[in-house]
Amino acid sequence: MSHAQRALRSLTVLTAVVLASQHIWGMQRDGSEKESGDKKPSLSLRVTPPLGFTPLRVRLSAELKGGADDYADLYCPTVEWDWGDGTTSANTEDCEPYEAGKSLVRRRLAQEHVYREAGGFRVSLRLKQKTRLISSSSVTVQVRPGGAGE
């Protein structure tokens, strides 16, 4: 290997190490520090139980994971549930005006619903600011006929 090839190889390795350390320590390529919470939280949705007999009472649990606790778009959103059976529900809280660094997003949401008909239902949760969709998630519920008491 020539001296030029060794120098090029060393430079390539050094560049990779610098880029990796910037990623690990939260630095951007321009050398400025990256905000640790500037990433949008992700929304996950879970249903309990996911399968059962009519009438089936389910509990939906949603959680915002990661991101900043004061992520502006997710502060005090309208919460819309589409139960997949032709019914929906929504609520909006009366919140104080948003203040960066002070206003915290609500990380957990929960809601119950009763399915009285059998079928497969796609439940959707949407978080909105006015008419703008900010985040959404969905999950499937399977309801079989013939539960207790029918």
Helices assigned H by DSSP within 95-142: none
- Indicate whether 16 pLDDT > 50: no
Query: Would you say residue 96 has pLDDT above 70?
Result: yes
Retrieve residue 74's tokens: 């997710």
Averaged over 66-85, what is the pLDDT? 94
Calpha distance 46→48 (Å, rounded): 7
The DSSP bridge partners found for residue 46 are 61
The residue assigned the tokens 């703008």 is 132
Instruction: Give the model's pLDDT for residue 146.
Output: 80
Average pLDDT over residues 87-113: 92
- Token digits of residue 26: 């939260």
